[in-house]
Amino acid sequence: MTRAYNFSAGPATLPEAVLRQAQAEMLDWNGTGASIVELSHRGAEFMAVAAQAEADLRALMSIPDDYAVLFLAGGATTQQALIALNFASPGQVADYVVTGHWSKTAIRQVRPYVDVHVAASSEEPDGGFRSIPPRAQWQLSDDAAYVHITANETIHGVEFRDTPDVGAAPLFADFSSSIASEPVDVSKYGLIYAGAQKNLGPVGISVLVVRRDLLERAGQPRADIFTYASHAARDSMLNTPPTWNWYLLGLTVRWMLEQGGVEEFARRNAAKSALVYGAIDGSGGFYRNEVAPAVRSRMNIPFFLPDDTLTTRFLSESKAAGLLALKGHKAVGGLRASLYNAMPVEGAQALVDFMADFQRRNG
- The footprint of ligand PLP (CB under 6 A) covers 10, 75-77, 102, 150, 154, 174, 176-177, 195, 198
| Catalytic machinery residues | 102, 174, 198
CB of 352 vs ligand PLP, minimal distance in Å = 24
CA distance 118 to 324: 37
Instruction: State yes or no: 99 annotated in a binding site.
Output: no
Name which of 69 and 352 has its Cβ closer to ligand PLP. Answer: 69
CA distances from 45 to 23, 35, 42, 83, 150 (A): 18, 11, 8, 31, 36
CB of 10 vs ligand PLP, minimal distance in Å = 5
Other Cβ atoms within 10 Å of 337 Cβ, number: 30
Point out which residues pair with 69 in neighbouring strands.
209
Question: Which residue has the closest beta carbon to ligand PLP?
Answer: 75
CB of 155 vs ligand PLP, minimal distance in Å = 8
CA distance 235 to 23: 27
Instruction: State yes or no: 42 annotated in a binding site.
Output: yes
CB of 80 vs ligand PLP, minimal distance in Å = 7
Considering only CA atoms, which of 154, 237, 158 is closest in space to residue 199?
Answer: 154
For residue 28, the Cα-to-chain-centroid distance in whole angstroms is 31
Name which of 11 and 363 has its Cβ closer to ligand PLP. Answer: 11
Looking at residue 150, its amino acid is T
Name which of 178 and 359 has its Cβ closer to ligand PLP. Answer: 178
Q: Which residues of 354-363 are buried (b: 16+ CB within 10 A; e: fewer)?
A: bbeebbeeee
Instruction: State yes or no: 174 annotated in a binding site.
Output: yes
Name which of 107 and 352 has its Cβ closer to ligand PLP. Answer: 107
CB of 214 vs ligand PLP, minimal distance in Å = 20
For residue 363, the Cα-to-chain-centroid distance in whole angstroms is 34
CA distance 75 to 60: 21
Name which of 75 and 347 has its Cβ closer to ligand PLP. Answer: 75
CA terminus-to-terminus distance, the chain: 33
Residues 6+ positions from 196 with CB-CB distance below 8 Å: 202, 203, 204, 205, 206, 207, 245, 249
Instruction: State yes or no: 76 annotated in a binding site.
Output: yes
206 backbone φψ class: left, alpha, beta (φ>0; ψ -120 to 50):
beta
Instruction: State yes or no: 197 annotated in a binding site.
Output: yes
CB of 348 vs ligand PLP, minimal distance in Å = 19
Helix, strand, coil content of the chain in percent (nearest 5): 40, 15, 45
Considering only CA atoms, which of 352, 174, 346, 345 is closest in space to residue 265?
Answer: 345
Instruction: State yes or no: 32 annotated in a binding site.
Output: no
Instruction: State yes or no: 154 annotated in a binding site.
Output: yes
Name which of 272 and 355 has its Cβ closer to ligand PLP. Answer: 272
Question: Can you say which residues are annotated as belonging to the binding site for L-glutamate?
Answer: 42
Question: Can you say which residues are annotated as belonging to the binding site?
Answer: 42, 76-77, 102, 154, 174, 197, 239-240
Question: Can you say which residues are annotated as belonging to the binding site for pyridoxal 5'-phosphate?
Answer: 76-77, 102, 154, 174, 197, 239-240
